[in-house]
Structure 1
């Protein structure tokens, strides 16, 4: 089964690996690094706990505590436990907004202010410092990242806090121990990445900066943004290389197909002359060997039906010799490796971790048949493609695709 391109399986990816004071083992994925720095609780968790404690401290399920009755030893213990829990929750909850008056000392440390995105508290600490330009670029001693890294890693809308740091001389090109800059992290964590990205670029960030795996901000944007097209347009307009390749040879187009089925974004990239014939390494987890494949293989791997149609219609260069055969073989291999056995008809889990239903399978079969017809009629001028999807292999693919319940 070919390796997945999700963030959790980018082996050795430098952005979000876990590193704590007691654990010197290097993290294995970007998401682990982010989780290791996340100090906020899950939304809704505190309300649920608060409601449960209120019920525990009342009598017969009445949510209004009966203060007039005499408390038993059990009641006292329960109250003490409730207070301890509240105290623990208060430490874990997001801290309240800090005073905007710079003369009033905040109750947040500089690093806590950065991680909570409190612009007023950051302003106070930096203004009070005799050397703000040094303080603003100080580094966490454990994870070796700057305040700017902390802000963009923990805050979904970091623009206000970023303004404070940048106004005091924060280095936009500062790298953490994994060669990651703030401009790489924004597309991964921000709910609205367009403005933070634009701000970083205005302050001198490199639009083609590389992380430890050779990923650029455009790779991150294509891979992680829920709506990738607007920030992708902006980055390319600012000079981002649309065909930048990472250490495995993958371009942002590969990342986009791994992210979602977005025919509009794929169409835009093709119109911008992104190289649809680019080849990259695909890892076979069973053997540890790598094979080369085009974006057609990536689209089939992730079952991106709409994007696949765009590629076939607008970018025939992705249909290199053996590519269609490779795609059919991938569907077959994933189906055998990860079929979900159920008592009756049900979904099947492909090797990329996504559930594929009957309708998706039918659509994929239809697209592959159209590709075969286009090649057979000579509308796609790739001389070896007709052999790559021979009638025998086409029948085999049809059996595989129809065989998925």
Structure 2
């Protein structure tokens, strides 16, 4: 009996200690929660202010109450405005406080899912997909989510996610361009490993190397050549990538193609060499740099 009594006395004496430990633990956890949410709170304040939903010093208004007052239409507009640059926790907060991603259409050029893909934000792409947003929806020019991601920096993880939703690296835009035609240097090896055709031709007969040369994307040109792109391919006008590079202003692209064996003497269907096109562009645009470019050709 004395042992039971002693144990009860011990427990009775320990109750205040246990309560104090629990209280300290709760305070510590609550403080950590506040610290973790502080950056999100600051970001949300900025989003609400920049979109004209609040004024005054940061933290002076209850954002949850503001969200309740503006309702779903207002929160949907905020969600679309924030989607291209905000962090995922902030976007989740906006959704949790009234916005419905399923009712946020392409009010401008891109959908929520398309913006996330273009920014190569795996976390956001996965989040929007959890709302059953259509992964097969295209942009006005027919670009898929893979096209959009390839232009900025597609990686294997994001590609695997998109492929699991039925998207293919061989999908083409309205101009017949694959993701490889639009790919950044970082995306090119990822697409190659996924089986993309390095020399695929669009509706004008242009390969990804043609397109990168035309757009003066020297890093992409370099990577395409490294991955086996043909420097001798011709488009529907009989022009090589060097022809298209000669029409631009990038000495670097011309130098890269020449170093890879591009032929200065190749002629298109109009019997024009790359040098001829460089001179035409110089006369048309009155850009003095074309003189130096033409001398290389």
Taking structure 1 as the reference length, the TM-score comes to 0.46
Contact (CA 8 Å) 2:150, 2:179: kept in 1 or not?
Answer: yes
The answer to whether the aligner puts 1:274 opposite 2:229 as a matched pair is: yes
User: Following superposition of structure 1 onto structure 2, how do residues 319-330 of structure 1 map, counting pairs within 5 Å?
Assistant: 320-321=266-267, 325-330=272-277
Q: Secondary structure at the match of 1:112?
A: helix
CA distance in 2 between partners of 1:246 and 1:180 (Å): 13
Q: Secondary structure at the match of 2:52?
A: helix
Measured at CA, do residues 170 and 298 of structure 1 come closer, stay the same or move farther in structure 2, by a change above 3 Å? same
1:109 aligns with one of 48, 71, 75: 75
The answer to whether the aligner puts 1:232 opposite 2:188 as a matched pair is: yes
Gap regions ≥5 residues in structure 1: 1-86, 130-134, 222-227, 282-290, 340-348, 350-355, 369-405
Partner of 2:25: none
Q: How many residue pairs are counted as aligned between the two chains?
A: 233
CA distance in 2 between partners of 1:90 and 1:136 (Å): 18
Residue 313 of structure 1 deviates from its aligned partner by 4.0
Contact (CA 8 Å) 2:188, 2:223: kept in 1 or not?
Answer: no
CA distance in 2 between partners of 1:252 and 1:173 (Å): 23
The answer to whether the aligner puts 1:207 opposite 2:169 as a matched pair is: yes
CA distance in 1 between partners of 2:103 and 2:51 (Å): 28
The answer to whether the aligner puts 1:182 opposite 2:138 as a matched pair is: no
Measured at CA, do residues 308 and 243 of structure 1 come closer, stay the same or move farther in structure 2, by a change above 3 Å? same
Partner of 1:335: 282
- Cα distance per residue 1:269-327 (max 9 Å; x no partner): 2343212222225xxxxxxxxx4311121121114334334433433468535699422
CA distance in 2 between partners of 1:309 and 1:148 (Å): 39
Partner of 2:15: none
CA distance in 2 between partners of 1:256 and 1:136 (Å): 35
> What RMSD in Å do the two structures reach over aligned CA positions?
4.3
CA distance in 2 between partners of 1:123 and 1:217 (Å): 30
- Cα distance per residue 1:9-68 (max 9 Å; x no partner): xxxxxxxxxxxxxxxxxxxxxxxxxxxxxxxxxxxxxxxxxxxxxxxxxxxxxxxxxxxx
CA distance in 2 between partners of 1:210 and 1:274 (Å): 19
Measured at CA, do residues 88 and 114 of structure 1 come closer, stay the same or move farther in structure 2, by a change above 3 Å? closer
CA distance in 2 between partners of 1:174 and 1:275 (Å): 32
Partner of 2:291: 361
1:171 aligns with one of 129, 134, 146: 134
CA distance in 2 between partners of 1:362 and 1:141 (Å): 45
Q: Secondary structure at the match of 1:240?
A: coil
Measured at CA, do residues 265 and 90 of structure 1 come closer, stay the same or move farther in structure 2, by a change above 3 Å? closer
* Bigger Rg over Cα: 2
The answer to whether the aligner puts 1:258 opposite 2:218 as a matched pair is: no
CA distance in 2 between partners of 1:275 and 1:165 (Å): 39
Partner of 1:148: 113
Gap regions ≥5 residues in structure 2: 1-47
Residue 207 of structure 1 deviates from its aligned partner by 1.8
Contact (CA 8 Å) 1:173, 1:206: kept in 2 or not?
Answer: no
User: Following superposition of structure 1 onto structure 2, how do residues 51-130 of structure 1 map, counting pairs within 5 Å?
Assistant: 90-91=51-52, 109-110=75-76, 112-117=78-83, 118=86, 119-120=88-89, 122-123=91-92
Q: Give the structure with the larger helix fraction.
A: 2
Measured at CA, do residues 265 and 111 of structure 1 come closer, stay the same or move farther in structure 2, by a change above 3 Å? same
Residue 164 of structure 1 deviates from its aligned partner by 1.2
Residue 151 of structure 1 deviates from its aligned partner by 4.0
